[in-house]
């Protein structure tokens, strides 16, 4: 009995993995890569980069902040105690599936007010956050409130969060290629007090 159950669980795990990968394969054909490339000049010209997201999206954005730091950018995660004030010449990069998370929209308004550029990743190009942004990358994934299995069989925005990490990693890979640094140079910036 135990081996039959184990076999069923194994099949379910494989099926879940195939579902997730299939959703990403569909999604990569819908992404507008020129939107991602459009972020590059603003990022490379930034004095400082400020990163923000809420909940699980925030975790993906923190991963992006680390990747940017490895490339040599001065990066701060909004809300961390060491984050300074944002100023003119800086860039605020936000991730929000809905584009309506009040704290993130408020931070984008503050960034614009002081003369910083706003960039965002969202599922909703008509959202309040997208309207504040100089450049928006639209990730055509279900928002966490949407439970339409036609968009994603995964729960509560999981496809957006996974895709955000992949899209940002593609951006990082591109910035790295344009920069020409070696992996050894990036490694010097890797945390050494772990």
**Per-residue model confidence (pLDDT) at position 42:** 98
Report whether pLDDT(144) > 60: no
Q: What's the whole-number mean pLDDT along residues 132-151?
A: 77
pLDDT digits over 52-108, tens only? 999 999 999 999 999 999 999 999 999 999 999 999 999 999 999 999 999 999 999
Q: Is 146 a residue of the active site?
A: no
Report whether pLDDT(143) > 80: no
Which tokens go with 124?
């909703």
Report whether pLDDT(146) > 60: no
Full DSSP string of the chain: -HHHHHHHHHHHHHHHHHHHHHHHHHHHTTS-HHHHHTTHHHHHT-SSEEEEE-HHHHHHHHHHHHHHHHTT--EEETTSTT-----TT-EEEEE-SSS--HHHHHHHHHHHHTT-EEEEEES-TTSHHHHH-SEEEE-----TT---TTT-SSSTTHHHHHHHHHHHHHHHHHHHHHH---HHHHHTTS----
CATH 3.40.50.10490 for domain 32-187, yes or no, is yes
Cα–Cα distance measured from residue 99 to residue 83, given in angstroms and rounded to the nearest whole number: 22
**Per-residue model confidence (pLDDT) at position 2:** 57
Give me the catalytic one of 88, 161, 177, 194: 161
Tokens 């040599």 correspond to 72
pLDDT digits over 147-181, tens only? 556 667 787 678 999 999 999 999 999 999 999 88
């Amino acid at each position: 009995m135990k081996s039959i159950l184990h076999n069923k669980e194994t099949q379910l795990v494989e099926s879940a993995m195939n579902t997730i990968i299939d959703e990403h394969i569909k999604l990569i054909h819908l992404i507008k890569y020129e939107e991602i490339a459009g972020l590059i000049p603003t990022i490379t010209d930034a004095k400082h980069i400020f990163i923000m997201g809420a909940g699980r999206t925030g975790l993906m954005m923190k991963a992006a902040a680390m990747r940017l730091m490895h490339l040599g950018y001065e990066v701060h995660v909004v809300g961390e105690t060491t984050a300074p004030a944002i100023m003119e010449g800086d860039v605020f990069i936000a991730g929000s599936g809905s584009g309506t998370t009040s704290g993130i929209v408020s931070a984008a308004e503050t960034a614009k007010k002081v003369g910083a550029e706003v960039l965002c990743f969202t599922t909703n190009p008509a959202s309040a956050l997208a309207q504040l942004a100089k450049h928006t990358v639209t990730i055509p994934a279900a928002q966490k409130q949407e439970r339409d299995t036609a968009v994603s069989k995964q729960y509560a925005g999981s496809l957006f969060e996974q895709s955000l990490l992949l899209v940002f990693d593609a951006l990082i890979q591109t910035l790295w290629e344009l920069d020409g640094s070696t992996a050894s140079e990036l490694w010097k910036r890797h945390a050494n007090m772990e």
